[in-house]
Amino acid sequence: MEYILNGIVQAIKLLLSGDAETFSAVAATVKASSFSMAASLLLGVPLGFVIGYLRFPGRRQIRLVVDTLLALPTVFIGLMVYAFITRHGPLGEMGLLFTLPGIAIGQTILALPVVIALSATTIEGMETGLRTTLVSLGANRRQLLFTSLWEVRHGILAAGLTAYGRVMTEVGISMMVGGNIKWHTRTITTAIALETGKGMFSTGIALGLVLLLIAFAVTLPASMLRRK
Amino acid sequence: MSLYELKDIVHDYDGQPVLTIDEWTVSVDAVTGVVGPNGSGKSTLLSLLGFVAKPARGEIRYQGRRAETFADSVRGKVALLPQDAYLLKRSVYNNIAYGLRFKKHAGVDNVRLRVHEAMEMVGLEPEAFARRPWFALSGGEARRVALAARLALQPEVLLMDEPTASVDATSARMIKAAALHARQQWGTTLIATSHDANWLADIADQLLHLFRGRILGSGFQTLIFGPWQTNGDGLLTKALQADQVFEAHGHPSDMNTAVAAIAADRMELYLDPQRIPAPQRGLKGILLHLNYEQSTGRVGAAVQVGDAMLNVYLPKSQASHSSFAPGQQAWVAYDPRSIEWY
């Protein structure tokens, strides 16, 4: 119990003192997760809309694949991305291994099925009367799409937050693709794994609490948006 | 020129036909009522006329030209008010203003004027209701907001699916008045569906009967559904209640599903069965209500005989000083030869 309390105290000290290592890990985490969330939302929401809204041959099979990918282990994603971007891999010349962009690519692969599946579920749950209303009020196809998305914004927001939760807390991709390099690719989660491995439980807990604070900082504005 | 021309329309859900119309036209500036029981295809018909759905087969012409969803010729001009109208997740004002913002010359002041005008037409005080969110409305208020959103567009056609179902009496009155006002002010063509033929007969110039996706004639009439039996005289019979049997001449192809239709002006109402002339038959029932049809100036009566509702016009000579009153026992007389079969 003592090391848990020490962890809380140390978390406050780390943040207030502006500890460089901590803030480096925070910055790496925020950069990688921001990029991966932007990419997965830009790609995932329209794809989720297509799967949830349109009826086309193979739709059910595609949905099955997407749902299956929800269970992808992070270490497996990390392994596959590593295989592609390692020096001898097909994308080795891009120099992405042990970089934040490399981590972001892996995290995008992790988040994309979550965004697609939950967006599709939200769209499928959309009231059938919405389309009738929008067409009756004179909306064209583009207006129909954007208004429909706005009407189900809470569901889309939930999809984004769920994906964000997975991305922020993953270790496997960051470790395998990023390499946990201090000052460069050490994220909060890889730092926790490292500190715990060294027996520095308090530091691990402190970093965990920092991670929670970041998650709260993201969730709070989303919660305020939900009220509108 | 007809406003709508429907030809060889077939619409289905998962391969099951739900609407089959060989030919039907709607005139400009008419008030058309579509009556039929649940599952008769009324909502499907309105979806097609509103260009919300596309028929599986066949052609719908609007103002002489083929039209489809999102076509410029119909977008913002043909407005459908479904039975369960969906309100957008925003305020009453923004719900009503939504469609207006797509229109040209949609300045802020013009939009505000049109929104307030539409709200007043449906009896919603702008000061009290404009800022209310969509979830803070009663069922009747929500229906009126949905109607206002369509009226604000000053549509050429307003399609209403069971507009007064499940709403309070005040809302029902406001909805009816607003729709008729739109017709008077902008020449909006109205097409409304209901399972209540008497409500529709009160406002409609023409009445269309739908049953199992097919048109069963038009006008104020009575429909008697099968199955039919044959009696010793070769007449087809249907027991409406224990001692009241409807008899008809004819040879429908399917005795189980055939529908007998008789126009309201082919039936007569009597208080004394002794006065019914031969060879007319008489059916005893209870006079439920009398309706004055503004469009025709005639008085229609609805008489319940068992589960059937018989619709009769009172002769003009009787209408003004009639001794008929709701709740009375009355006899409906008709000639078994004046039946049309579907």
pLDDT score for B233: 87
The span from the CA of A76 to the CA of A109, in Å, is 11
Contact across the interface for A130 and B153, Cβ inside 8 Å? no
Among chain B residues, the shortest Cα distance to A152 is held by B89
Residue B289 lies in a domain: yes
Q: DSSP letter string over B124-168? A: --HHHHTT-BGGGS-HHHHHHHHHHHHHTT--SEEEEESTTTTS-
pLDDT score for A201: 80
Residue B239 lies in a domain: yes
Least confident of A215-224, B61-70, B239-248, B272-281: A215-224
- If residue B305 lies in a helix (H) or strand (E), which one and from where to where? strand B299-305
Residue B50 lies in a domain: yes
Residue B167 lies in a domain: yes
Who among A131, A139, A151 is closest to B89 (CB)?
A151
pLDDT in tens, B88-132: 999 999 999 999 988 765 677 889 999 999 999 999 999 999 999
pLDDT in tens, A29-52: 999 999 999 999 999 999 999 999
Distance from CA of B142 to the nearest CA of A (A): 13
Chain A residues whose CB is inside 8 A of the B79 CB are 136-137
Q: DSSP letter string over B81-131? A: E-SSPPPPSSBHHHHHHTGGGGSTT--HHHHHHHHHHHHHHTT--HHHHTT
- Closest among A171, A147, A153 to A74, alpha carbons compared: A171
Q: What angle do CA B44, B48, B49 make, to 5 degrees?
A: 115
Spans of all domains in chain A = 2-226
pLDDT score for B88: 94
**Chain mean pLDDT for chain A:** 90
Chain A residues whose CB is inside 8 A of the B88 CB are 130, 133, 147, 151
pLDDT in tens, A65-77: 999 999 999 999 9
Alpha-carbon distances of B24 from A12, A111, B8, B118, B261, rounded to whole Å: 77, 53, 9, 31, 19
Among chain B residues, the shortest Cα distance to A226 is held by B89
Q: Enumerate chain A positions whose Cβ falls within 8 A of a Cβ in B.
A: 127, 129-133, 135-141, 143, 147, 151
Question: What's the CATH code of the domain at B79?
Answer: 3.40.50.300
CA atoms within 13 A on the CB side of B150: 34
**Chain mean pLDDT for chain B:** 89
Q: What angle do CA A109, A113, A114 make, to 5 degrees?
A: 110
Mean pLDDT of A177-190: 94
Neighbours of A49 (CB within 10 A): 21
More confident call, B101 vs B4: B4
Chain B residues whose CB is inside 8 A of the A140 CB are 70, 75, 102
Cβ atoms of B222 and B207 closer than 8 Å: no
Residue A196 in tokens? 């715990």
Distance from CA of A158 to the nearest CA of B (A): 17
Who among A129, A130, A138 is closest to B153 (CB)?
A138
Single pTM value for the model: 0.78
Who contacts B118 (Cβ-Cβ below 8 Å, separation ≥6)?
B96, B148, B149, B151, B152
Mean pLDDT of B293-320: 81
Who among A136, A139, A151 is closest to B150 (CB)?
A136
Contact across the interface for A140 and B102, Cβ inside 8 Å? yes
Question: What's the CATH code of the domain at B311?
Answer: 2.40.50.140
> How long is chain B?
342
Q: What angle do CA A43, A46, A47 make, to 5 degrees?
A: 75
Examine the domain organization and report whether B80 and B153 are in the same domain. Answer: yes
Residue type, B57: R
Contact across the interface for A127 and B150, Cβ inside 8 Å? no
Contact across the interface for B70 and A132, Cβ inside 8 Å? no
Peptide bond into B227 cis (omega under 30): yes
Residue B165 lies in a domain: yes
pLDDT score for B13: 86
Chain B residues whose CB is inside 8 A of the A130 CB are 86, 88
Residue B50 has pLDDT above 90, yes or no: yes
Contact across the interface for B88 and A135, Cβ inside 8 Å? no
Who among B52, B77, B102 is closest to A132 (CB)?
B52
Longest dimension (CA), chain A: 65
Residue A132 has pLDDT above 90, yes or no: yes
pLDDT in tens, B171-181: 888 888 999 99
Number of domains in chain B: 2
Range(s) of the domain holding residue B240:
221-341
Contact across the interface for A141 and B70, Cβ inside 8 Å? yes
Alpha-carbon distances of A115 from A155, B128, B222, rounded to whole Å: 10, 40, 56
Chain B residues whose CB is inside 8 A of the A135 CB are 50-52, 69-70, 80
Contact across the interface for A139 and B99, Cβ inside 8 Å? yes
The span from the CA of A137 to the CA of B112, in Å, is 17
- If residue A119 lies in a helix (H) or strand (E), which one and from where to where? helix A100-124
Distance from CA of A134 to the nearest CA of B (A): 8
Residue B323 lies in a domain: yes
The span from the CA of A186 to the CA of B226, in Å, is 79
- Closest among B41, B67, B63, B39 to B52, alpha carbons compared: B67
pLDDT score for B318: 65
Which of B161, B185, B210 is where one domain is finished? B210
A2-226 belongs to CATH 1.10.3720.10: yes
Residue B8 in tokens? 């060889």
B163 touches chain A (CB under 8 A): no
Residue B216 lies in a domain: no
Chain B residues whose CB is inside 8 A of the A143 CB are 102
Chain B residues whose CB is inside 8 A of the A136 CB are 50, 52, 78-82, 99, 150
Examine the domain organization and report whether B198 and B325 are in the same domain. Answer: no
Give, as one character, the DSSP assignment of residue B277.
P
pLDDT score for B319: 61
pLDDT in tens, A205-228: 888 888 888 888 888 887 777 655
Examine the domain organization and report whether B178 and B275 are in the same domain. Answer: no
Contact across the interface for B102 and A151, Cβ inside 8 Å? no
Which of B185, B210, B235 is where one domain is finished? B210
pLDDT score for B60: 95
- Interfacial B residues in 32-51 facing A (CB < 8 Å): 47, 50-51
Which of B191, B210, B229 is where one domain is finished? B210
